[in-house]
A and B are shown apart, each in its own frame.
Chain A
């Protein structure tokens, strides 16, 4: 009997303690499910959605009116990962997911080609967030140069993405999501990422301390 009473008391104390610990500000592991797994692309899609929610764009950001656009550049295989939030309202604007395919490097050298090129680049610049997958690694410079100065939150998935002035990159080969932020470039683009996201980054490259490593 004594053992049974102890068991019940232990369960009650544990429940009460855990509930108390959950009050107040969330810790990094708060809300950690007993066991949730998801595919890499599903997790990335959810992060992109959060990046949109927790980033401020400059007043003059060139974009389609009343929309927020996430552009997906490269051989991405997101499938239906964005379906739950596609066309929904985020910050009172409609969320558009644009599959841009592979980066086009060449256009016909005639007037029509030049016009087509201009429209293509404009399309990239109108994105609020542009995800560039690792299949476009050789085109990083060309893509980032094309959108530089247009307030595009560029997101990659290779370790060297920040070195070429990308803003956020996911580190590959990890069992849990790990990302880094180049806040220096972020500020240059006039973007403001909330500290709610920045504090979760493994590394934030800031203007004052370029090698800041939060080592979470």
Chain B
């Protein structure tokens, strides 16, 4: 019996320089090294950008006391880090949260948000192809997985159809990110509905923090490029910023010379024409983002902006269908927001945001979604020790879908108009100097499922000392995930076998209920000494009504799949992180244990399970003369096979290194680095619905040049 490939994974492994692919004991493929041409290009860039600035570098050099060598105008741009203020914010958070700072992002040298996120405790990661990076928090990750919520400045960016994340299509640029907050575990009440397993909140920089011009370009040994320009200005009561970026990512075939393809069901190879497959996973997105803020000086601020992204992505095989035509996408994300300080310890905001997206994924479907969201929140202190926030969120989603090919998926009734209404309240109550209780409650009504549901969190924070350097946290949480359109309304047939029949037939389900989770958490956060923090988080999570695909096979071997709330699961684990930071650098080590057990044997959960053991290390040294060295390391244990894939993964090690040098009195910086040093290539990884996958470049040398002006 052939089983649907809605979930599944394969591991990462070590590959030698000359790659060999074996099938049934026979060598079927032998790939060559990267082309000489790309090496020449890379070396040329190094000579042009690396040697010339060094020759032009003036006699002034930095020592470790660079602040005293700076001119007053240079000092104005140094960011103030009040360690106690920032650490206090995190130590007193009611959720297990890790924060990736702009400095972490900058010195990683990476241009992909998920690749940066993977170095965070508890985060699972794999590369489906060159541009599609998959992220999960404590597992349940896949190309179309909807168990985490992604926000940009508090605004939802998840795909309205599938609920998943394709980060390379977002109009968010690495250099515009101030920090990324990664919340582990259910975050439904505070961040919005549907945050079943976690939240990723990307916070962008304000214009006044990045005044002037800034340019950056990154080039890899494969000829990929990432070019970025920004300008920000502040005048009187106005501040504004515009950013633009173009990324050109070669396909694995072009990067490796001839990336090997792997079929996970060789018996289907003739049927799907596997021998003709090529790795077409290139990406060429263009991004634009803008923000303007007007400060009326009477406690009112109005901010507005828009983000745009569009471009082409190489298509891929999906359930045996591989059109060999590029995918296209386009997103526009405008917003308008009014913030008001009322002068009596109260504040409020009202925000409208739009999320207008068009995708033309040749292997899959054509979809046009229009989301309008209105959010209002009021913060006040009603009584001694209480800090209350109440608010509401209204969202209208309009979805049109279409299909160019018979094998693309369709939605039987369309267009769709869906409405989401939410009310929430949060109260943080300082009961005593040491004890804080926080209650979060949220209720939502979703027109598509004609149901209402609620999520909540109750947390107690107890400080062991007066200075609140050591805090214990105990939480009980309930969250849910509503089934989106792709689960409720999707139908289709895939892999024709002749006679008008298809091997896989997807039926529209009758009724899907919300997935639900209850979680018990206990944690400790401590500031052990100046610049030294320890975080230890533990959790037990019980899931119910997880949605997967039930499969029925008829006598002729045709498969009929229907989404259903199959069963629940249990998850438990711990995350431990020790970090040390001072003006000379940073060192942090972490370990995560994330376990997951479905209620039924071989239960489809539409996603990969978490790797049980994960560990990481980040080291950064600010050396003399403006040099900085950075290392990111991560170990990922064997990922338990998804019950349906029957394919084991392997453990993996990833090491990224960068060395940076400030040039031209700090207005520029040159960086050389290597990502994934330990793996020449990444083995094909099976995502949701893929029968085949291709090899992806691993070890990548790159150079980056940046200038402020």
The answer to whether B706 and A84 have CB atoms under 8 Å apart is: no
Assess the B234–A216 pair: CB atoms within 8 A.
Answer: yes
Knowing A26-B71, A177-B76, say if A4 contacts B223 (CB, 8 Å): yes
Please tell me which one of the listed residues A7, A45, A49 contacts residue B225 in the complex, with CB atoms under 8 A apart. Answer: A7
> Which of B8-16, B303-311, B601-609, B661-669 forms part of the interface with chain A?
B661-669
Contact A31 B71 (CB under 8 A): yes
Q: Which residues of A sit under 8 angstroms from B53, Cβ to Cβ? A: 15
Residues of A within 8 A of B48 (CB): 8, 11-12, 15
The count of residues in chain A whose C-beta lies closer than 8 Å to any C-beta of chain B is 50
Do B67 and A38 have beta carbons less than 8 Å apart?
yes
Asked if B705 and A11 make an inter-chain contact with CB atoms under 8 angstroms apart, the answer reads yes
A34 and B583 contact, CB distance less than 8 A: no
Contact B709 A30 (CB under 8 A): yes
Q: What secondary structure prevails in chain B residues at the interface with A?
A: mixed
Contact indicator A18/B215 (Cβ below 8 Å): yes
Interface digits, B56-97 against A, CB 8 Å rule (1 contact, 0 not)? 100000000111101111111111111100000000000000
B102, CB-defined interface residue at 8 Å = yes
Contact of A47 among B66, B75, B705 (CB under 8 A): B75
> Which stretch in B36-44, B266-274, B503-511, B520-528 binds the other chain?
B36-44
Task: Determine if A138 is an interface residue (Cβ-Cβ < 8 Å).
Answer: no
Give the Cβ gap from B618 to chain A, nearest Cβ, in Å.
15
Q: Closest chain B residue to A25 by CB distance?
A: B73
Which residue of B is nearest A4, CB measured?
B41
A38 vs B83: C-alpha distance in the bound complex, in angstroms?
10
User: In whole Å, how far is B564's beta carbon from the nearest beta carbon of chain A?
Assistant: 47
Contact A8–B68 (Cβ < 8 Å): no
Q: Does A208 contact B (CB under 8 A)?
A: no
Closest-CB distance, B299 to chain A (whole angstroms)? 15
Do the beta carbons of B49 and A15 come within 8 Å of each other?
Answer: yes
Residue of B whose beta carbon sits closest to that of A50? B72
In the assembled complex, which residues on chain B have CB atoms less than 8 Å from the CB atom of A177?
75-76, 78, 80
Residue pair A15, B52 in contact (C-beta under 8 Å): yes
Interface code A6-29, partner B: CB below 8 Å = 1, 0 otherwise? 011011101101110110001111
- Given A4-B38, A42-B67, A200-B76, does the pair A29, B708 have CB atoms closer than 8 Å? yes
* B209 adjacent to A33 (CB under 8 Å): no
B572 within 8 A of A: no
| B interface size (C-beta, 8 A) | 63
Name the contact of B217 in the complex, choosing from A4, A11, A19, A35 (C-beta under 8 A): A11
A8 touches B709 (CB 8 A): no
Of the listed residues A54, A196, A197, A215, the one surrounded by the most CB atoms of chain B closer than 10 A to its CB is: A215
> Which residues from chain B contact A49 at a C-beta distance below 8 Å?
68
Q: Which residues of B contact A34 (CB under 8 A)?
A: 106, 660, 662, 668-669, 706, 708
Query: Is residue B237 contacting chain A, with contact meaning CB distance below 8 A?
Result: yes
Specify which of A27, A36, A47 is in contact with B72 (CB 8 Å cutoff). A47
With A22-B709, A30-B708 known as contacts, the answer to whether A46 contacts B81 (CB < 8 A) is no
Cβ of B627 < 8 Å from any Cβ of A? no
CA distance A168 to B421 in the complex (A): 51
| A17 to B706 Cα, complex, angstroms | 12
Q: How far is the CA of A175 from the CA of B102 in the complex (A)?
A: 13
Interface centre among A38, A54, A174 (most CB of B within 10 A): A38
The 6 nearest A-B residue pairs measured at CB: A29-B212, A18-B707, A84-B65, A46-B67, A21-B709, A32-B708
Which B residues fall within an 8 A CB radius of A? Answer: 37-38, 41, 44-45, 48-49, 52-53, 56, 65-68, 70-83, 102-103, 106-107, 208-209, 211-215, 217, 219, 223, 225, 227, 234-237, 248, 583, 660, 662, 664-669, 705-709
Given A47-B75, A50-B72, 7 other A-B residues pairs in contact with their CB atoms under 8 A: A12-B49, A26-B73, A31-B664, A32-B214, A33-B708, A35-B102, A200-B72
| Interchain Cβ contacts under 8 Å between A and B, 23 examples | A4-B37, A4-B38, A4-B223, A7-B227, A8-B44, A15-B705, A17-B709, A21-B709, A29-B77, A29-B212, A29-B709, A30-B708, A31-B665, A31-B666, A32-B212, A33-B78, A34-B662, A35-B79, A37-B79, A37-B103, A50-B75, A176-B76, A177-B80
